[in-house]
Structure 1
Amino acid sequence: MKYYLIAGEPSGDLHGANLIEGLKKADPAAEFRFWGGDRMAAAGGAENLRKHYRETSFFGIVQVLKNLRTIRRQMRECQEDVAAWRPDVLVAVDYPGFNMKMARWAKEHGIRVFYYIAPKVWAWREWRVKAIREYVDRLFVIFPFERDYFPRHGIRPVFEGNPLVDAIEARRPSLPSPAEFRRKHALDDRPIVALVAGSRRGEIRDNLPLMVRLAGRFPEYQFVVTGVPWLERALYDRYLAGSGIRCVCDQTYETIAAAEAAVVTSGTATLETALLGTPEVVVYRTLWFQVKLQPYVLKVPWVSLVNLNLGREAVAEIIQSDLSIERAERELRAILPGGSGRARMLADLAELRAVIGGPGASERFARRMVGELRDDTKQ
C-alpha cells in the first residue's frame, strides 16, 4: 500500500521515522512519500522526501502572518503532490495548523485520512474536535487520558502507547553515566542540573535568564543548558555570558540522564525528562495577561504532560509573567538529593512510566494502521 506522511517539525520527523519503520515491518510492500526531515528520509528513502520541515516550520502568530503567502503556496504544492501520487492513506503526524487543512482537503477528494498524534484540543482550540470528527477516518492518540477525552466528543481513538518511549529506549543503552558525561564535556566534579529552556527563540529568550539566576543560588551544582542544533550558539551565549553555565548542543537526552534534576519549560520535554527518570521542576514565563487568561483559555488544570497523564500535580509548575526565583529555588531544592520531595517524585515518575506503556508503540500503531487499511479493502 501507499502511505503519504506529513510532519512539520523535529518531533514529528522522529515519530514519523519510527512509524515508517513499523509500517515496513507490518506491510513489506509499503511505498512512502512524505513531508518531514532527515530521520524520515533515512527510514523511508531520501528520494521520497518532498519537502523538509526546515522550509515549512513557522512558529507563532507573527511568523505565520509574515509567511502566509509561502504557507498557502506550500499547501497547494502538497495537495498537488498527494493528488498526483494517489496514496491509499494520508497520515498526518501532529502539526495541526497545516495537517488539519490537509485532512479536510484529502477527505473531500476521497483519500482516507489517519491522524497520528492528535492535536491538543483538550488544552486549547477545542473547536477542532468537530473537524477531526468530520475529516479524520481514524485518530491515533499517544496519551492515556486521551482515551477518555475523545469518546466524550464522539470519536473512538486508538491508543497503543507513546512513541517517545521507543525513542528513549533506543537511546538508553548509549547514554553515558554522569561521570562519563562530565569527562566528555570537560566539566568539573560537581553534580549536574540540566536546564531545558525550550527549542524556539522565544522560549530561550523568556526562560533562560530566570534559569541563569536560579543557577547562581546553587554553587554546589553545575548547570548545563541543553542546546538545540537548529538555533545558533550566539543565542545561548547572549544569556550565559559570565555565568559559568555550559551549553551542550544536540545532547538533550544525554544531559538530562546525567543530571540529578532538571528545570524544564513546558512541552514534550517535560515528558521526556520524566521518562528518563530525572526529577524536574517546570517553569514557563509568559505575558501577564496570558497568565490571567489561562483559566479561561486552557481546558486542562496543568500544562505539563507529566501531571496531565498522572491526573495530579506530581511536578511543580511555575507559570508566571514575573517568575518567582524564590519559589523556583524552593521547588528545585526539594527534588535534589537529600530534598524532602525527591523520593515522592521518583515514585511518581515510575508510576508515569507504567501508565504510558512500554516500548514498541510505533510498531503497534503501524500494525493497527495496516490492519485498518486491509479491512477496508476487503469490504
Structure 2
Amino acid sequence: MKKVFISVGEISGDNYASELVKRLKNYSLIGIAGPKMRAAGLTPVANIEDISVVGLTEALSKYSKIKQVFKKSVEILKEGVDLLIVVDFPGFNIKLLKEAKKLGIKTVYFISPQVWAWGKGRVKDIVENTDVMISILPFEEEIYKPYVSDKFKFFYVGHPLLDIIKTYETEESFKEKLSVPKHKKIVGLLAGSRESEVNVLLPIMLESAKLISRTFENIHFVIPATVNMVEKVLEKVSKYKDLPVSVVTSNLSDANVPKFENPSYEVMKNSVFSIIASGTATLEASIISNPFILVYKVSPLTFFIGKRLVSIPYLGLPNIIAGKEVVPELLQEECNPLNIANKTLEFLTDENLRENQIKEFESIKAKLGEKGAIERTYNIINRLLETGQV
C-alpha cells in the first residue's frame, strides 16, 4: 500500500485536509494533523497544536517543539514515503518540500501560501520543490503560470469552503441548545484557533462585549472554541460572570459545553453579527453571509516587520478578493474594546449597513469558483499516485 505524508500547520488546513483524508482511504496516511484529520483516520506523527503560531516573535516560544517535529517528519520521509502533500503553512512546509525533493519523493502543495501578499521571494523555492501546485484562489494562476513546465504543474480547483461549509441548526434549535431566550440576538466572538490569538484577542473581544451589552440588553454572545482551545477559552470567559456569553465547541471535544459538528459555522449562521479574528473564518463568514468586522493584533515587532513585507492594502481575504473594503478592519492600536464596540453598534443599529455588506458577500462568493474543489483535488492526487503524472 502506498504511503502518503500530509503536513498541516493550522486548523483551517486541518479542515481542508480532513476532506482529502476521507477520500484517500486506499492509501496509508500519516502526517502532522489536526483533530479532524485524526478523526478521519490519518495516523498522526505530530499534532498541529504543537507547531501552530501567529507572528514571528510568537514563534520563538515554540521553536524547540517545531524543530523537533520537523526532524521527526524528515526521518519518516527517509524511511520511505510515496507522496508528500503540504497544506499552506510555508515557514515549515517549504523546508519539508526541500527535504522530500532531495529524497526523490513526489510533492503536492495544496493551497498556496499567500505569496501575492508577502513572501514573493518564496515562489522560486515553491516551484523548484513542488511537482504539483493545487490552488484555491483564481488570481494565483497569474503568479504561477510563468513557471509551469514538465517539472511543475499548476491546477486551480476552486475554493473547498464551498463544499465544506454546512450548517444544520435553525435559529430556534441553536438557541434552545444554548438555553438562550428566543427574543435575544446572537453576536459571535471568533478569536481564532491558536493560543496566541486566544490570549491576545479574546480578552479584548470580551471587554467589547461588556460595552455592547450596556447598550443592548437583548444580546447574547457566543464563542466557538476549537478542540485544542476550549479549556483556554473557558478559563478566559470565567472572569466575566455577569456577561451573557456561551462557549460552544466541536463534538470531537470532551468539554462540558454545547457541541456541534461545525461550531463556528453554526455561530455564524445564527448570529446577527460577528467579531472575527483575521484568518479563514473571515471568508467562511462571507460565504455564510454573516455580517462582521475583522480584528487583528500581534506583537509590535511582528506587525512592524509584517507591514514591510505585505504588498496589499487589506488584511482580510474578503477585502482582498473584492478589491475594496467590504469588511471594516480594526488592526493593532485600533483593535481595542471601545473601537470594536462602537463599530459593532453601528452595524447592530443600521440595517442598511448589514444588508449592503451581505450583498457584497454574494459578489465575493461568486468569485470563488464552482463547488467540487475537494473532489477535483482528490482526482489530481489519486492520478499522481497511480500513474506518477498528472
Scaled by the length of structure 1, the TM-score of the pair is 0.85
Corresponding residue to 1:224 among 219, 222, 225 = 222
Trace 1:1-379 onto structure 2 (pairs within 5 A).
1-24=2-25, 29-43=26-40, 45=41, 48-57=43-52, 60-61=55-56, 64-87=59-82, 89-151=83-145, 157-168=154-165, 171-172=166-167, 174=168, 176-188=169-181, 189-215=183-209, 216-217=211-212, 218-219=215-216, 220-231=218-229, 232=231, 233-237=233-237, 240-250=240-250, 251-287=263-299, 295-323=307-335, 327-336=339-348, 338-372=350-384, 376=388
Counterpart of 2:164, as a letter, is A
Per the TM alignment, residue 103 of structure 1 is displaced from its structure 2 partner at its CA by 0.3
Looking at structure 2, the residues matched to 276 and 254 of structure 1 have their Cα atoms a distance apart, in angstroms, of: 10
User: What value does the CA root-mean-square deviation take over the aligned residues?
Assistant: 2.8
Looking at structure 1, the residues matched to 10 and 56 of structure 2 have their Cα atoms a distance apart, in angstroms, of: 16
Whether the 8 Å contact between 2:54 and 2:196 is mirrored in structure 1 is no
Per the TM alignment, residue 326 of structure 1 is displaced from its structure 2 partner at its CA by 5.5
Looking at structure 2, the residues matched to 269 and 302 of structure 1 have their Cα atoms a distance apart, in angstroms, of: 16
Unaligned 5+ segments in structure 2 are: 251-262
Looking at structure 2, the residues matched to 235 and 278 of structure 1 have their Cα atoms a distance apart, in angstroms, of: 27
Looking at structure 2, the residues matched to 101 and 294 of structure 1 have their Cα atoms a distance apart, in angstroms, of: 21
Counterpart of 1:247, as a letter, is V
Scaled by the length of structure 2, the TM-score of the pair is 0.83
Q: Give identity over the alignment, percent.
A: 27
Per the TM alignment, residue 353 of structure 1 is displaced from its structure 2 partner at its CA by 1.7
Looking at structure 2, the residues matched to 287 and 58 of structure 1 have their Cα atoms a distance apart, in angstroms, of: 12
Whether the 8 Å contact between 2:50 and 2:65 is mirrored in structure 1 is no
1:105-126 Cα shifts (integer Å, max 9, x gaps): 1111111111111122222233
- Higher mean alpha-carbon deviation, 325-334 vs 352-361, is at 325-334
Looking at structure 2, the residues matched to 63 and 296 of structure 1 have their Cα atoms a distance apart, in angstroms, of: 18
1:290-340 Cα shifts (integer Å, max 9, x gaps): 666654231221111111122221111111325365553453344347423
1:18-76 Cα shifts (integer Å, max 9, x gaps): 1133445xxxx544333324432443x45x43333344445554564445444333323
3-state SS in 2 of match to 1:157: strand
